[in-house]
């Protein structure tokens, strides 16, 4: 029988209570949540009573000193991540960290160096990148079906969340404000699908919101590798939520509607007399692909198998396997570093 992984939770806000804890508790045969930590005593006591976890701490360093842990799950604001990770790593404890892991290249380089020294892992949670539809897109790249990546374009549009209307929300202290909290998900998709070191970043940001404490709420980023281009567009003033990823490859163009779980492959159309017929065939193919994807989603909804937490679920099982030495965690710190590079450049002069 495999030894149970001992886990400590740090930060009992919504990311933990809604996103992480319910899934860890469903994995009791593999993971035991043995301790909770939060600076808010009322929150800590309520969680302890509700979950039946008596080992509680207001200070993460105290928890790390007192408990025998395999990993801590850090669900605190990003500006606290660097110090919490360093404390855990220096206590020989692995780190599970919500995005963004940190906000500067200097910090991510420091964490990578310390983790390598202690042969420890930092598991960054980019759950949206590992939803089933994006795992399917990743498989198309890995198989060579798309060919060489020429361009990657990621577009995210959402209405600004009401919570950000509070000037005291922690996100306003981050580089980029609420954009700095929201952009890491599409930012990771951009750099991962480009698959190369980012050589140059150019960005523009404006504020259309009436909230004077917003740094910005419309962002456009252009990045360059040695042989490909990428763009990232984010709007917090949209009337609807939409996340699109377009992959232009040397063999295939793939369009992915992440929230609606739709992936469409566009085959090349030759010039000449057969082009009109091929365009018609491609239109029918697009309709068929969209209907197939939406039918599968609808079937999962009606049968109760539709789960918005699928990305978290997949990554948490990958973490368990990695901690046991059974597999390699799919989110590489080198790729996360490229994401941090893009975000730091996008917000540094804004």
63-82, pLDDT tens digit by residue? 999 999 999 999 999 999 99
Record the pTM.
0.93
Among the candidates 109, 125, 141, a domain finishes at 125
* Same structural domain, 95 and 117: yes
Flag whether 331 is in a domain: no
* Same structural domain, 24 and 149: no
Flag whether 333 is in a domain: no
Q: What is the pLDDT of residue 157?
A: 96
Flag whether 175 is in a domain: yes
Task: Identify the CATH number of the domain in which residue 22 sits.
Answer: 3.40.50.720
* Same structural domain, 177 and 37: no
Q: What is the pLDDT of residue 274?
A: 63
Flag whether 172 is in a domain: yes
Q: Measure the CA–CA gap between 244 and 257, rounded to whole angstroms.
A: 5
* Same structural domain, 183 and 301: yes
Flag whether 324 is in a domain: no
* Same structural domain, 24 and 145: no
pLDDT band for position 273 (cuts 50, 70, 90): low
**% the chain with pLDDT above 70:** 97
Count CB atoms within 10 A of the CB of residue 346: 27
If one counts the domains in the chain, the total is 2
Peptide linkage before 100 cis (omega within 30 of 0): yes
> Given a cut of 90, is residue 299 above it in pLDDT?
no
pLDDT tens track for 25-52: 999 999 999 999 999 999 999 999 999 9
Q: What is the pLDDT of residue 85?
A: 98
Burial grade of 272 (CB within 10 A; 0-12, 13-18, 19 or more): exposed
Asked if residues 289 and 299 have their Cβ atoms less than 8 Å apart, the reply is no
* Same structural domain, 302 and 186: yes
Q: Measure the CA–CA gap between 191 and 174, rounded to whole angstroms.
A: 21
**What is the enclosing helix (H) or strand (E) of 71?**
strand 71-74
* Same structural domain, 73 and 190: no
Peptide linkage before 164 cis (omega within 30 of 0): no
Torsion of CA 46, 50, 52, 55, to 10 degrees: -20
DSSP 8-state code for residue 272: S
Flag whether 17 is in a domain: yes
Among the candidates 92, 125, 158, a domain finishes at 125
Exposure of 93 in the CB half-sphere (CA atoms within 13 A) = 28
pLDDT tens track for 98-125: 999 999 999 999 999 999 999 999 999 9
> Given a cut of 60, is residue 231 above it in pLDDT?
yes
Owner of token pair 């404390």: 87
Task: Identify the CATH number of the domain in which residue 200 sits.
Answer: 3.30.360.10
> Given a cut of 50, is residue 6 above it in pLDDT?
yes
* Same structural domain, 223 and 303: yes
pLDDT band for position 283 (cuts 50, 70, 90): confident
Q: What is the pLDDT of residue 349?
A: 63
Domain holding 112, by residue range, is 5-125
* Same structural domain, 108 and 198: no
Q: What is the pLDDT of residue 163?
A: 84
Among the candidates 125, 142, 170, a domain finishes at 125
Asked if residues 35 and 61 have their Cβ atoms less than 8 Å apart, the reply is no
Contacts of residue 192, defined as CB under 8 A and 6 or more positions apart, other chains included, come to 129, 335
Count CB atoms within 10 A of the CB of residue 178: 24
Flag whether 326 is in a domain: no
Flag whether 74 is in a domain: yes
DSSP 8-state code for residue 226: S
* Same structural domain, 160 and 267: yes
* Same structural domain, 235 and 214: yes
Q: What is the pLDDT of residue 1?
A: 47
CA distances from 350 to 175, 202, 219, 286 (A): 9, 12, 11, 40
* Same structural domain, 78 and 214: no
Average model confidence (pLDDT) for the chain? 93
For residue 237, the cross-strand partners are 159
């Amino acid at each position: 029988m495999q030894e149970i992984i001992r886990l400590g939770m740090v930060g009992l806000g919504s990311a933990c209570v809604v996103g992480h804890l319910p899934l860890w508790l469903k994995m009791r045969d593999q993971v035991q949540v043995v301790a909770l930590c939060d600076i808010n005593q009322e929150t800590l006591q309520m969680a302890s009573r509700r979950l039946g976890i008596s080992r509680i701490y207001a200070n993460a360093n105290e928890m790390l000193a007192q408990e025998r842990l395999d990993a801590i799950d850090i669900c605190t604001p990003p500006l606290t991540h660097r110090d919490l990770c360093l404390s855990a790593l220096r206590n020989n404890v692995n780190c599970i960290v919500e995005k963004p892991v940190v906000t500067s290249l200097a910090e991510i380089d420091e964490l990578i160096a310390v983790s390598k020294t202690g042969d420890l892992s930092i598991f960054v949670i980019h759950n949206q990148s590992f939803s089933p539809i994006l795992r399917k897109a990743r498989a198309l790249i890995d198989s060579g079906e798309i060919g060489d990546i020429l361009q990657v374009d990621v577009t995210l549009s959402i209405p600004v969340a009401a919570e950000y209307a509070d000037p005291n929300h922690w996100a306003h202290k981050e580089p980029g404000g609420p954009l700095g909290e929201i952009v890491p998900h599409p930012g990771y998709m951009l750099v991962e699908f480009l698959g190369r070191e980012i050589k140059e970043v150019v960005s523009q940001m404006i504020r259309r919101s009436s909230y004077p404490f917003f740094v910005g709420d419309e962002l456009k980023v252009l990045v360059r590798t040695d042989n490909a281009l990428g763009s990232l567009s984010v709007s917090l003033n949209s009337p609807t939520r939409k996340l699109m990823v377009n992959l232009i490859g040397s063999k295939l163009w793939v369009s992915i509607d992440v929230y609606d779980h739709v992936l469409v492959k566009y085959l090349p159309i030759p010039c000449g007399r057969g082009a009109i017929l091929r365009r018609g065939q491609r239109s029918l193919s697009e309709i068929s692909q969209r209907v197939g994807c939406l039918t599968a989603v609808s079937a999962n909804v009606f049968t109760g198998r539709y789960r918005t937490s699928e990305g978290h679920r997949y990554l948490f099982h990958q973490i368990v396997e990695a901690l046991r030495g059974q597999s390699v965690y799919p989110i590489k710190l080198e790729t996360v570093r490229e994401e941090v590079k893009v975000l730091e450049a996008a917000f540094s002069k804004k």
